[in-house]
Amino acid sequence: MAPSSPAPRPSRRTTYVDRYVLYGQSGTALLTGAALARLTRARRTREAALTCAGAAVLALPPVTLQLRTPQSRVDDVGAIARAVAEAGGPGDGVLYLPARRRVWSLPDPGSLRGLRDLALDRAPAASHTLYGTEVPAPVVRARMITATRIIAVSDPAGQPLDGTPGEIVKRRVLATYFEKCGTRRVQGARVTVYARPGTC
């Protein structure tokens, strides 16, 4: 019996996402404010405290303004949603590779209008999860086989591939029964159209 291949290692790429540390910024602001309030009560240090507060206020705008630009994000969910809407047509299937990338469509569910999520079992709201739950791998395969065209929403090239049965089946069925018609790269993602051979 051939040894099983090792599971893919998780990416070691570190990504800064401001929403995950926003609470830390507010905590820092509260601690800084408390320290400055204490310092201003002592007459000797009032000028120093006011100078520090002014310097902090002047230093923060460039950082916070940069965080509000699309370039500060790892991905652009608006661009991804538009690419999916433009690539898909009524009755086309859509797949997220890996399943957690379904989160890209949550801000704009209208981008999926007319598309069938081939792997979805229960939507995020119904399943009380962030990404929703998916049907077992054999059901994913059966649903994919019935499709003529599939829009695959996936990570950028070079990211590790998930080794779960559902993700393996998605990749295997696409490679066996479909041909790649074209890929659109948007910030943080790839949107690829697959179709039955000769129907691109």
- The residues, any chain, with a CB within 8 Å of residue 156's CB and separated by 6 or more, are 185, 188, 189, 190
Mean pLDDT check: name the lowest of 8-12, 13-17, 115-119. 8-12
Predicted confidence at residue 131, as pLDDT, reads 85
133 or 48: which leads in pLDDT: 133
DSSP 159: S
Instruction: Write out pLDDT tens, residues 13-64.
Output: 444 555 555 665 677 677 777 777 776 666 556 676 677 777 767 766 766 6
Separation of alpha carbons 191 and 83, rounded Å: 7
pTM (predicted TM-score):
0.68
